[in-house]
Chains A and B, each alone.
Chain A
Amino acid sequence: MKRIALALLSTLALATVAHAAEYNQVQADKSRIAFSYQQMGVSMDGSFKNFSSQLRFDPAAPEAAAAAIEVELASIDTGSDEGDEEAAAKTWFNTKDFPQARFESTAVKALGGNRYEVAGKLTIKGTTRDVVVPATFAQQGDAGVFDGSLTIKRGDFSVGEGAWKAFDIVANDVEIKFHITATAR
């Protein structure tokens, strides 16, 4: 009897280990980083075509999760060629000297339900700031899907200098939205 109970217990334990999937294989083709902002009161949006990300997330142990995302700023799509060129220029991202923007998580907090709070460091154009990103997690088939958004002030990172420094034409607030799909190995 004791033996059977032990065997049962160990299979149960094994089963939970197997269930506690760690999502760590980012599916680039099902992931997206977009942004939106106001231009003279008009909502505008765009996205970044190229970025790489590493993450590990186990719903059973969210505190142990970590994420790092690197965005190729020159891959920006503002909706017009002229806009893309301008965004890469010195006054905006200065992609020659600062080709990437980087986010690296420092702590993940579970807020209950499927909501989490990811604290981390965001580096754009040589300036690093602490940010807290609200995110949600959803299981879709055998993949995990992370969604979230963060509003930053472009002025904090000197994005838009010179004639663009004022916020009357292009607003200071920029909302960054991400949608990242990862599978477990």
Chain B
Amino acid sequence: MSAQYTATAKALHWGIAVLIFGMLGLGFYMTGLSLSPTKLQLYSWHKWAGVTLFLLVVLRLAWRFAHRPPALPRHMAPIERFAAHAGHHLLYVLMFAIPLTGWLMSSAKGFQTVWFGVVPIPDLLDKDKALGDLLQTVHLSLNFALIAVLLGHVGAALKHHFIDKDDVLTRMLPHRLH
């Protein structure tokens, strides 16, 4: 039996994955609402959860720097290895950049982020409507990029499991699932 991801790596991977799927749904849902107290509430929750996610991602990156993941299966071609590594790097970059642009957008729009209504996150940018609108477009574009990379990521995981029949998916799954 080959190496598994550590329990910490698994917990962070799946915890963050669930949060990100929730954030994508919430983000697209809330922006479509017309202005109401509910909308303002959802925006605040999105920002609070986003900041929480960002902290988890920082934790995950720190963990990742200190721990090597299990090696890829031997059957993979160089191009497949390259795609796997590039895809994972891109996911890390997006996980980091999306909440960052969300926070900067909020700063530029003049809506400070106060984590759970308690901890004020400093505004790095001064109020600037044009910059706020630009960062909103960046936040949205990065989210589209994330969805595209995730489709490839999930597709690859399923291909490993059902076509290659290797352990790439199971070594990331919680222990009792396999």
Q: What residues make up the interface of A, taking CB atoms closer than 8 Å to B?
A: 39-45, 79-80, 82-83, 85-86, 163-164, 166, 168-170
Residues on the A chain within 8 Å of B112, using CB? 42-43
Residues on the A chain within 8 Å of B113, using CB? 42
Between A80, A82, A85, the greatest number of chain B beta carbons within 10 A of the residue's beta carbon is seen for A80
Residues on the A chain within 8 Å of B36, using CB? 163
CA A83 to CA B132, docked complex, whole Å: 15
Residue of A nearest to B40 (CB): A169
Residues on the B chain within 8 Å of A41, using CB? 114, 117-118
* Contact of B170 with A by CB under 8 A: no
Least Cβ–Cβ distance between A116 and chain B, in angstroms: 32
Residues on the B chain within 8 Å of A170, using CB? 37, 40
Q: Evaluate contact between B109 and A79: CB separation under 8 angstroms.
A: yes
Least Cβ–Cβ distance between A171 and chain B, in angstroms: 12
Least Cβ–Cβ distance between B107 and chain A, in angstroms: 12
Q: Evaluate contact between A40 and B40: CB separation under 8 angstroms.
A: yes
Specify which of A40, A44, A163 is in contact with B44 (CB 8 Å cutoff).
A40
Residues of B106-121 contacting chain A, CB below 8 A: 109-114, 117-118
Least Cβ–Cβ distance between A77 and chain B, in angstroms: 10
CA A43 to CA B114, docked complex, whole Å: 10
Least Cβ–Cβ distance between A82 and chain B, in angstroms: 5
CA A79 to CA B38, docked complex, whole Å: 19
Specify which of A42, A43, A83, A166 is in contact with B35 (CB 8 Å cutoff).
A83
Least Cβ–Cβ distance between B160 and chain A, in angstroms: 44
Least Cβ–Cβ distance between B48 and chain A, in angstroms: 10
Interface contacts beyond A43-B112, A79-B110, A170-B40: sample of 14 additional A-B pairs, CB < 8 Å, sorted by A: A39-B40, A40-B40, A40-B44, A40-B114, A41-B117, A41-B118, A42-B44, A42-B113, A42-B117, A44-B111, A82-B35, A85-B35, A163-B37, A169-B37
